[in-house]
Amino acid sequence: MSKISEATVMIVDDEEMVVGAIQSFLELETAYDVLPYTSPESALEELEERPTHVIVADFMMPEMDGVSFLTRAREIRPSATRILLTGYADKQNAIRAINEAGLYHYLEKPWNNEALKLIIRNAAERARLFEELEGRVGELERANQELAGFRERLIHAFL
């Protein structure tokens, strides 16, 4: 991902109207690729196939609760930033789960579009930094391996 505007954002809520409303807003106001899902299982299948930078999931879903979904999503896409959507009545349970699962943010329903945009933008930036960091770590590991090989060759050459 080279620019924040090119982020891929997944929205998962069993309520089609919630997914639809967020999708319309993001399509109007941003250049993100939006992946709308009403089934967490199908969303996980998509995650296997497609690099995704931000995942927004509802807490209370019949098939799978949002925290379990986001925990599984992390196994598939560790660099994606995860956000939980919660209804007011579920807030206490959700906050406990957020702390346990180490999520980036939670957003209360009904959400404010401007706040949602800002949170997703920051989340995308975080995912970009995470990917960069992963890239750098990879480079370092490769350099380390090269150095180790070089050292081996040096030792063989002089002994």
How many amino acids of this chain bind other proteins (CB under 8 A)? 25
CB under 8 A: which stretch of 26-34, 99-107, 119-127, 142-150 binds other proteins?
26-34
| Using rule CB under 8 A, residue 61 touches other proteins | yes
DSSP state of 63: S
Residue type at 1 in one-letter notation = M
| Using rule CB under 8 A, residue 39 touches other proteins | no
DSSP state of 6: G
Judged by CB, which is closer to other proteins: 76, or 107?
A: 107
| Using rule CB under 8 A, residue 68 touches other proteins | no
Q: At what angle do helices 66-76 and 91-101 cross, to 10 degrees?
A: 20
| Using rule CB under 8 A, residue 124 touches other proteins | no
| Using rule CB under 8 A, residue 78 touches other proteins | no
| Using rule CB under 8 A, residue 120 touches other proteins | no
| Using rule CB under 8 A, residue 18 touches other proteins | yes
Contact 47, 82 (CB under 8 A): no
Contact 19, 38 (CB under 8 A): yes
Sheet of 81-86: strand order equals 33-37, 8-12, 54-58, 81-86, 105-108
Can you tell me the distance from the alpha carbon of 108 to that of 68, in angstroms, rounded to the nearest whole number?
18
| Using rule CB under 8 A, residue 91 touches other proteins | no
* Contacting positions for other proteins (CB under 8 A): 14-18, 20-25, 27-29, 60-62, 65, 87-89, 109-111, 113
